[in-house]
């Protein structure tokens, strides 16, 4: 597919067909942020939103229902039950999204660290890539209001992941992503088992194994202003162990752990 031109936040394909997109917003206690991000996203034409609420005790789910009722069908809500977790929320959201007619399925944090105004650039790149990552670590990307310790942790974590797994993506832990529907449908979601932020790495690794074309688009990541971060010791431990688990799986399956020659085509925009 060739992107011919860009118009009002949607991709127009050869022949005039419009690519419709859907954004998955996983939420847990994001009431204040959700009230801001949903209207901003709805300014993008041909975009729908799926809020996946993880039993938020602060009323996020109820607010999402009200926003959905006012959206004329552009916002829907999935109220999860059972164990909580970012990975579980995204997997449930992706399965739900794949039941729709969306051409591009996107992931965004609901805390406004990912800027709605930057989503159109990711959607545009989706015309030529199976997976587009909003990257903090390519030319033009940046981070605002992170303490030095957090910034160093993130950069070291990405270098660690690249070294152990052989995945040559600059921002392996970035959660601002757009997937071509046909590509996401081919991923073995049933075997993705990570729960916290490690889910992002595991799904990227599956995409690399499937030889997807990956593009990185520079973004400005802004630390949340409302609510609390979900990063804790158990999340960090899972994230530290996952690359070795993936490397061992690579060796067990085909002996390719750490070999960058197995990577897909990558590009920076």
Residue keyed to tokens 């300014």:
43
Q: What are phi and psi of 62, to 5 degrees?
A: -65, -40
Decide if 218 contacts 269 (C-beta within 8 A). yes
Token pair listed for 137: 């670590």
Backbone angles phi, psi at 105, to 5 degrees: -115, 120
pLDDT confidence bin for 56, thresholds 50/70/90: very high
Least confident of 20-29, 81-90, 112-121: 81-90
Which DSSP string do the residues of 97-116 spell out, in sequence order? HTTS--SEEEE--TTSSS-G
CA distance 265 to 253: 22
Q: Decide if pLDDT at 111 tops 80.
A: yes
Q: How far apart are the C-alpha atoms of 235 and 214, rounded to whole Å?
A: 26
Q: Is there a contact between 137 and 170 (Cβ–Cβ < 8 Å)? A: yes
Q: What is the pLDDT of residue 8?
A: 36
Q: Please tell me the predicted confidence (pLDDT) of residue 265.
A: 55
Euclidean distance between the first and the last CA atom of the chain, given in angstroms as a whole number: 17
| pLDDT tens figures, 146-181 | 999 989 989 999 999 999 998 999 999 999 999 999
Rounded to whole angstroms, the Cα distance separating 60 from 32 reads: 8
Q: Which domains does the chain have, with CATH numbers?
A: 10-258 (3.90.550.10)
Q: Which pLDDT does position 226 carry in this prediction?
A: 61
Residue 59 has pLDDT above 70, yes or no: yes
Interval 182-216: pLDDT, tens: 999 999 999 898 887 889 999 999 999 999 999 99
On the CB side of 17, CA atoms within 13 Å amount to: 11
Residue 7's pLDDT band, with cuts at 50, 70 and 90, is very low
The answer to whether residue 11 scores a pLDDT higher than 50 is yes
Structure tokens at 158: 């990405």
47 φ/ψ angles, rounded to the nearest 5 degrees: -120, 135
Residue with tokens 């009722």: 69
Question: According to DSSP H, which parts of the chain are helical?
Answer: 31-42, 60-69, 86-97, 119-125, 148-165, 181-184, 198-209, 233-253
Mean pLDDT score of the chain: 86
DSSP 225: S
């Amino acid at each position: 597919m060739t992107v011919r031109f860009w118009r009002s936040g949607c991709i127009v394909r050869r022949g005039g067909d419009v690519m419709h997109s859907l954004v998955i917003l996983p939420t847990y206690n994001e009431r204040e942020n959700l009230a801001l991000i949903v209207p901003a996203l709805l300014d993008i034409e041909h975009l729908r939103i799926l809020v996946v609420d993880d039993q938020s005790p602060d009323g996020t789910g109820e607010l999402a229902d009200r926003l959905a009722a006012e959206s004329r069908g552009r916002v829907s809500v999935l109220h999860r039950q059972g164990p909580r977790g970012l990975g579980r929320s995204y997997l449930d959201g992706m399965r739900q999204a794949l039941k729709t007619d969306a051409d591009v399925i996107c992931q965004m944090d609901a805390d406004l660290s990912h800027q709605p105004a930057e989503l159109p650039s990711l959607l545009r790149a989706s015309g030529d890539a199976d997976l587009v990552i909003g990257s903090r670590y390519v030319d033009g990307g940046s981070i605002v209001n992170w303490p030095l310790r957090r910034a160093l942790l993130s950069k070291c974590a990405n270098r660690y992941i690249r070294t152990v797994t052989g995945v040559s993506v600059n921002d392996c832990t970035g959660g601002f992503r757009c997937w071509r529907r046909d590509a996401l449908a081919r991923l073995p979601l049933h075997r993705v088992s990570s729960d916290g932020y490690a889910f992002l790495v595991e799904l990227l690794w599956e995409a690399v194994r499937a030889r997807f074309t990956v593009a990185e688009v520079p973004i400005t990541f802004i630390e949340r202003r409302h609510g609390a971060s979900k990063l804790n010791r158990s999340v960090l431990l899972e994230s530290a162990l996952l690359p070795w688990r993936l490397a061992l799986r690579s060796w067990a399956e085909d002996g390719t752990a750490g070999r960058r020659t197995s990577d897909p085509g990558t590009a920076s925009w």
